[in-house]
Structure 1
Amino acid sequence: MKRLTFELEFITPAFIGGANQQAELRPASFVGLLRWWWRALKGECDIKRLREEEIKIFGGDGKMASPVYLRVEGDVRKGNNLINQCRLNAGVVYLYHFVTVRGKREFIEPDSRLKLTLIGKDEFLKHYIASFWALVFLGGVGARSRRGGGNLAVVGYEPKDLVEDFKISFTPTDNLREWLKENLKRAKELVGSPKTPCGEYGKYSTLPDPRNIDFNSVLILSPKEFNNWIEALNDIGNEFMKFRKIKNEQKNEQNKRNEEWVLDIAVFGLPLRYGKGEAVKVENTKEVITRRSSPVIIKVIKTPNGKYKWMALRLWGKFLPDGAKLRFRGYTKLPSFNLIEKFFQKFGGEVKEEGKNE
């Protein structure tokens, strides 16, 4: 059995805890997140085979315990009034919408430290390490994790040689884009991701494989660095807000109804409410669908020199089952990723300048 301990820090507020919404570190939450990122890395099209392998690695089915022990500990600082910290930053308020609109919610404050320990055999440990890499550098922890909540940075880890044995890095370099690309490739190799992935319209959300696609089309980084997480998240939040509002204005100029515009932006995630709180609905499907996580992850990442950049990542996978339609008031439409593609294309010219700012 081998032991690997990571020292981490939260770089954005983390809305994570129990049912009573009190902020706390829970090992079960991290295990659930690692399972999710493992599936996203794996990209296995055969769902039965995927579940069988997942149970062997993470346990489950009421019969098998996980072959890897996970422990989370830390004396984190807690806050409960994020509105006061962010009230002058419209972009942050927009991304953290439900937190700022619904009032106070306890959260783990940025700069809080924690330790995560993994104990297990190499054959299983490698899957946890790959999933943990993806969680830290591509995602976040807790509510609003796809909009910059609960982002982490690795402060250090022991033993160093164990991570080196798996040939994956937890220390970003100045060429951040290339570093992310190469380590995502390695993470996919560690979990045994098929060389022929499910692709854009697979049955569940997966990470695009940089071995097969243009990485620039699915991952964008801010062309400049920021002094703190609020500045970084506020910048992309404002861009995201303007992008959606510009779309609305363009449709009005063409005498198209707001209802059609609402259906266009619904692919950024459900539930979506507009006007007097009316929700976009899903029809033409046997199952009742009221929620669909966004295929776009927005997050903050810490650079080697202690500055901050925002990042946006697009996930592959069907938005809704085949034939399902979005309905808002009297209008219906099949979901389309065209607007998401335009969002990533908007920054196409800017991200090419990234190397000049690092």
Structure 2
Amino acid sequence: MVKQDYTVSFVTPAFLGDAEQNGSWRTPPFKALLRQWWRVAAAKEHNYNHVKLRETEGRLFGNAWLENNFSQSQVKLRLDNWRSGKMNAWAEAPKSISHPDIKFPVDANLYLGYGPLTRNKEAKKTTFKDKLNAAIQAEESNALKIIYADGSNSAIQNTLQIIHWLGTVGSRSRNGWGSLEFGGDGVVFKPLEQNNPLLQVISRPLEKCLELDWTHALGNDDKGLLIWRTKENYVSWREAMKDLAKIKIAFRTSLKFNRHNGQMDCRHLLAYPVTNHPVSVWGNQKRLANQLRFKVTKTAQGYIGVAYHLPCGIPSQLLNALTEADRNWIVKQQLGVWQKVHGILDQQMQRI
């Protein structure tokens, strides 16, 4: 077994809850994060075959379903402690931004963190939901030990490198909360650069990614990888998050609702549900997670916001619930919708 020690630090506050939804350091979310990005790192090697990939994942991370091959996990994680988060109240000053669909200024923190965050109407400020001890604050760190089978060394190392580049954890992590980084004595991770061989291995053309209904690769197009960074370097994570909120509003509101009420429309392809614009056959219970994700990264020049696209088709459970007309509409429109979103990001940000 190989044993490696790291320091894991949060760049932005993490809504990483325990059983009572209070902010707390726990290993299960980090184990889930490792598995999530391992799938992306290993997908090409398995020819993007989800059945073979799942079998290998089961043998590496443990399973109770492989016939005659049940196994415990060969990967173990240990945190130095499982302490509660230190952010006991949301004291961040509102970062007001404008939204074309809303008449009054919007707090960027609330826009990207709605759920664990809410608005106190009486005090007219953003607060934790239900006033719980809901976050691990930025700059908090913990010692993390990872133990794994020697034969898995390259796969685990590649996965940790990808997490260092793009990983976030906890509630609303796809919006940049819970952005993390690894460090430690003698630990060296490479910077996020377009020509890194590992990034090329885990990327596929956008059109190919949309053919599968599960997350398996970063997208690329004729301009390169679908990874962007903010044009500016900021002195704090707060300013980087504010910029990401403005960028999200820009690409979402560029997609207007032009079809009849209850039909699938362009903005539904980004994530679902959409406030005040339900798809009739999906109702309010169906969920489509964001494919376009954010992260805040700390560099020698300051903080930057990162956006990246892990494209995939609409999951079959959602697709099969739609009318035939809406399914045909998706086939014709899906690629063009994402290309329009990428065009907005090319204007608002810059490719790595």
Please say whether Structure 1 and Structure 2 have the same fold, judged by a TM-score greater than 0.5: yes
Partner in structure 2 of residue 204 of structure 1: 214
After superposition, give the CA deviation of every residue in 1:96-149 in whole Å (9 maximum; x if it has no partner).
122233724411000101121112333123322222222232120111110011
Q: Does 1:137 align with 2:152?
A: no
Query: 8 Å contact 2:219–2:310 — kept in the other structure?
Result: no
Tell me what 2:73 maps to: 66
Match for 1:177: what amino acid?
E
Shift of residue 235, structure 1, vs aligned partner: 0.6
Partner of 1:346: 344
Alignment match, 1:219: 227
Equivalent residue number for residue 114 of structure 1 = 142
Structure 1 residues 119 and 350: alpha-carbon distance in aligned structure 2, compared to 1, 3 A threshold: same
Q: Check if 1:272 corresponds to 2:288.
A: no
How far off is 1:32 after superposition? 1.5
Whichever residue aligns with residue 304 of structure 2, its letter is K
Q: 1:153 aligns with which of 161, 181, 185?
A: 181
Would you say the 8 A contact 1:68–1:120 is kept in 2? yes
Matched to 2:297, the amino acid is I
- Contact map agreement 1:91 1:233 (CA 8 A) in 2: yes
Kindly provide the amino acid, as one letter, of the partner of residue 234 in structure 2: F
Give the corresponding residue for 2:189: 170
1:316 aligns with 2:332: no
Decide which structure has greater helix share. Answer: 1
Equivalence for 1:304: 300
Percentage of pairs with the same residue = 23
Equivalent AA in structure 1 for residue 266 of structure 2: D
- 8 A Cα contact 1:201 1:318, kept in partner: yes
Correspondent of 2:249 among 241, 244, 249 = 241
Contact 2:219–2:309 (8 Å) recurs in 1: no
Q: For residue 293 of structure 1, what is the aligned residue in structure 2?
A: 289
Q: Is the 8 A contact 2:251 2:345 kept in 1?
A: no
**Per-residue Cα deviation, 1:250-276 (whole angstroms, up to 9, x for no partner):** x6xxxx4684898321222223332xx
Q: Distance in 2 between matches of 1:93 and 1:4?
A: 37
The answer for unaligned runs of 5 or more in structure 1 is: 161-168
Pair 1:77–1:18, CA change in 2 (3 A): closer
5+ residue gaps, structure 2, are 97-106, 120-128
Deviation at 1:71, TM superposition (A): 0.9
Establish whether residue 54 from structure 1 lines up as the match of residue 50 from structure 2.
no
Match of 1:126 among 131, 147, 154: 154
- The verdict on how the C-alpha distance between 1:310 and 1:116 changes in structure 2, with shifts beyond 3 A counting, is same
| Number of aligned positions between the proteins | 315
The DSSP-based 3-state class of the residue aligned with 1:347 is helix
CA distance in 1 between counterparts of 2:169 and 2:56 reads 24
Q: CA RMSD in A?
A: 3.3
Matches within 5 A, 1:14-29: 14-29=14-29
Partner Cα distance (1:96, 1:238) in 2: 14
In 1, the alpha carbon distance for the partners of 2:61 and 2:169 equals 18
